[in-house]
Structure 1
């Protein structure tokens, strides 16, 4: 059993409590814990994201805003500011945050304040940026995860230092926006000896959809569930890959029912459903 020092337990509890209060989970990468993992601001206003250092050493993080576009595969493409469209440019212009760099002692939480001031005449719609939290390596600090370096024959040494980070979406919604989702087909596929259920999903309307995908047998037994499934406004359809273990792969065949619901902490309302036959 891994024992967590009392101070670290307190910080974990604080971050998780913040996440629960905001109806979204926390996300961890390396020694950084971030809550919430999604920020939604209607029209204008303020929000906070809590960062917590759950490691044993001080750590410094750089905070910035990025633009990303969803692809139909569900992956994201990074977008340079010079290539931003009008919606993306408006999102960057109206979202402000502070601080932009933080140093956290072990067990120390820090709030990042987010402020949104939509300009006059902003069209109704959903605007989104991605807030990035990236670790800044400590100069001269040894990389404990790196293997001992062998003596180079050429006299040149190259050291690769991994940089850990987390990125979360920040949404600004203006106006009364509607969206509908659909599930059109599903099939089993394999990638590198791992079974997946590949699901084709669609979206229409002026905003994104977000929720949990649940698979059920004809008798209503839950076969799997996968949280955090989003379809963003820049795509009308996307593929979702649900990892399946051996038992699930054997059962997720033939007729099944797929439900796409809001997360339980957001009410669990049904967004869409489909009865499909999986081959």
Structure 2
């Protein structure tokens, strides 16, 4: 059983299972030629992780599918990425850096190239002569399923003038469950670069009171996609009326030090 998890976390690092990865994405642009990925084992047992590269497409609803050939307008980064080591064994609370380098960048045409690093937990194998001993029922067939834990993070190379434009549209509020109101929206992307950022939703009452009711961090729209449909639950705070006022949705950069607003949109509530 393979459990493959695609990282879209809002923190600067990502933890899944007992593996902590920093940073959560690798982007080469400008003069940057190398970066260290820091892996840490936060569990109580020694673990081994194999590292490889996979190709992924993003669907319009934000899902992910592994592919072997690029979609029209999509370019893979794997041929211009080198990394080592390709496997790490970490004891409890141990950490190790994986060095990632971009190569032959000068041979690439302008645009964005994307692949994904895949970190796969290697199942433990008992040494010969130390197999588990158990009573055998010869009247039945037994199958053991070992879950294989795996996560991915994007690695992106940008060459030349990278730019994007993003707008928000088709805002709607699903308030059927009064305890869990849900906002729906569509990202509209153009340009030759992916976009990655954080979403905030503020409720503005008829009197002008502003209340933060939603945050979704680490939301991406990858090339070559031009749209992405997105929805998430809002906080139903006591005394807040989702039947009046308006909702303001802001999509901004994930850089806390220098926030840049990518797009804003408002939904009038009735």
Q: Under a length normalisation based on structure 2, what TM-score does the superposition of the two structures give?
A: 0.81
Q: 1:62: which partner in 2?
A: 50
Per-residue CA deviations over 1:197-222 (Å, capped at 9, x if unaligned) read 21111111110111111111223321
CA contact (8 A) 1:125 1:177 kept: yes
Per-residue CA deviations over 1:11-33 (Å, capped at 9, x if unaligned) read xxxxxxxxxxxx96111111111
Kindly tell me the number of residue pairs found equivalent between the two proteins.
248
Q: Under a length normalisation based on structure 1, what TM-score does the superposition of the two structures give?
A: 0.79
Q: 1:84: which partner in 2?
A: 70
Shift in alpha-carbon separation, 1:155–1:91, aligned structure 2, 3 A:
same
CA contact (8 A) 2:122 2:148 kept: yes
Q: 1:115: which partner in 2?
A: 101
2:87 maps to 1:101: yes
Q: 1:175: which partner in 2?
A: 160
Two-structure CA RMSD over aligned residues (Å): 3.0
Per-residue CA deviations over 1:71-98 (Å, capped at 9, x if unaligned) read 1101111112xx2358766511101111
C-alpha distance in 1 between matches for 2:268 and 2:136: 59
Q: Which has the larger share of helix?
A: 1
C-alpha distance in 1 between matches for 2:176 and 2:157: 36
Q: 1:212: which partner in 2?
A: 198
CA contact (8 A) 1:67 1:88 kept: no
| Unpaired segments ≥5 residues, structure 2 | 1-9, 128-133
SS in 1 for 2:256: helix
Q: 1:27: which partner in 2?
A: 14
C-alpha distance in 2 between matches for 1:151 and 1:211: 55
How big is the shift at 1:180? 0.9
C-alpha distance in 2 between matches for 1:190 and 1:97: 48
| Unpaired segments ≥5 residues, structure 1 | 1-22, 142-148
Greater RCO (CA < 8 Å, at least 6 residues apart): 2
